[in-house]
Chain A
């Protein structure tokens, strides 16, 4: 390749072009004023219900227990002091929110997950967080490092009552194959502000799956950048919002290297008065990112009146030299024709609705690709449906 003025310029510009949707961050908490709700990145979030986690809630006391299994060859432990400090920002994260900056600056300890190079971990690493009290606020930092050509699945499981700000940093080594699943199966009073940031190595495969069922407010940013060409990221999400719940998922695939891929699929269902879901899918294709491929999709199924689903795909393209870029967003009620078809085969209306919702989520659950949690996710979908769609069935006895 000959060096032209253009290519030099684009190389220089790579670090200077900023996305207006994703303002340049800072580690300094003072650079992040307390959000007012008017900011682009906060305008959908119910700040009053965040228990101050977005502002200055104390991070000093934890009531949430944290347990995990340790497959052979893997290191998982809580660290503090210099080691904890050295882990802040390892994913390339430069905070663009006050809560993320505060977590990095103020939380004294980190949970570190180290999977050495070339190790293929057969069983999923399961980190269980179980909250006891949502009236105290707390924060946590998790750092995961997956060595080159390693292969592992990590499931972070959130249950119980908690008001938590969390930053999870993930470094996927070259050629590694990593799946991180985060399940938000909180109790009704939980508040969860989370930022997951991953740096995907050269030719590595990264899959992130966010599954949000419980909690009063769950807001998660799941971001990806690349540490070389050939990396591939799949960002999956499944959520089910009930009456009064706010579930917000924000994605950012920052294509900062050539020949990288991102594929985003988020599906949600909403039921009950005041159920609110937000999906923001941001993709930035930087000038240097030639030959990339990206697709993002969000589908929402509105099961009852009184729900609100916001769905905003954003695509910023700095180069036209790409393989493909696209997005899709759809929010709809039950399809009458689908229900009619199923009912015309003798299936009751409620059972038909149940089938359609299962079908809606089935493919996605299979895509998550972690067999040990597939059944649980299907069961949870069933339990969510039982709260509303199937309540008539429960009341009147099973229809034949």
Chain B
């Protein structure tokens, strides 16, 4: 089971001129096995939503609730949220010099499971996950995200998604900066994850392109810190044709 419920979420970020409200009452429910796409113009607060769910210290929750299978997510620390079953694939994954990918993956898996993975199957799983994302096995000896190309960073995020196997994945602009081949490889990884029992996906994107490869159950248009309109995948097609103008103007 995996049900992520976001109710009337308000979030501010500190600026030089004091706190600025970025999320202005987001309400969204991702049921067992559903994929939701959140689309919106730049600066609409899409990434803030992703980072707020994950617990980034930069953002202050001023109102609302987020629950995962009934558990209050907002009261948990960042690592506790991950252990509760949340995963954030980041738009800009962070370099951790001197920490190898294989050490990182093993440490994360151990933290999530509460025990070290069985060495033999784990090495096999890691190699398989890397290979499926067209990453060379030698990738494991490289420092986390250090010197990775943009595409390698994104593929590494999705390899983690498959290996760490959360309940709900939040993908923050995983498609940005990818060429079409890399986009396909990444999308296949996400689709393998979705094919597992009861996994939820919140896919945040600026473009409709990735939705050709990852078919959402619901599409939400995100404008000025909240959901402006929700619908099925046909909504993405309208956005493809008409852009965000209608929403931005209505808002202005």
Give the interface of A toward B (CB within 8 A): 335-338, 340-349, 351-352, 355-356, 358-363, 400
Contact = CB atoms under 8 A, between A and B. Distances in A.
23 contacts: A336-B57, A338-B94, A340-B56, A341-B93, A342-B96, A343-B78, A343-B79, A344-B55, A345-B87, A345-B108, A345-B112, A346-B108, A347-B79, A347-B107, A347-B111, A348-B79, A348-B111, A349-B78, A358-B99, A359-B97, A361-B98, A362-B99, A400-B111
Interface size class of B (residues with CB under 8 A): 20 to 34
B98 A345 contact: no
A336 B88 CA distance: 16
B143 interface: yes
Contacts of B111: 345-348, 351, 400
A358 B98 CA distance: 7
B82 A345 contact: yes
A249 to B, nearest CB: 20
Interface in B89-108: 90, 93-99, 103-104, 107-108
A346 B56 contact: no
Contacts of A351: 107, 111
B77 A343 contact: yes
Instruction: Determine the main DSSP class of A at the interface with B.
Output: helix
Given A340-B56, A349-B79, 20 more contacts: A335-B94, A338-B94, A341-B96, A343-B77, A343-B82, A344-B78, A344-B87, A345-B108, A345-B160, A346-B83, A346-B108, A347-B107, A347-B108, A349-B77, A349-B78, A359-B97, A359-B98, A360-B98, A362-B98, A363-B98
A343 B108 CA distance: 9
B169 to A, nearest CB: 12
Contacts of B83: 346
A351 B104 CA distance: 11
A338 to B, nearest CB: 5
A134 to B, nearest CB: 34
A338 B112 CA distance: 18
Contact of A363 (B81, B93, B97): B97
B201 interface: no
Nearest to B88: A344
A14 to B, nearest CB: 40
A238 B83 CA distance: 35
Given A340-B56, A359-B143, A345 B164 contact: yes
List the 6 closest A-B pairs by CB distance, nearest first: A359-B98, A346-B82, A362-B98, A345-B108, A359-B99, A343-B78
Contacts of B94: 335, 337-338, 340-341
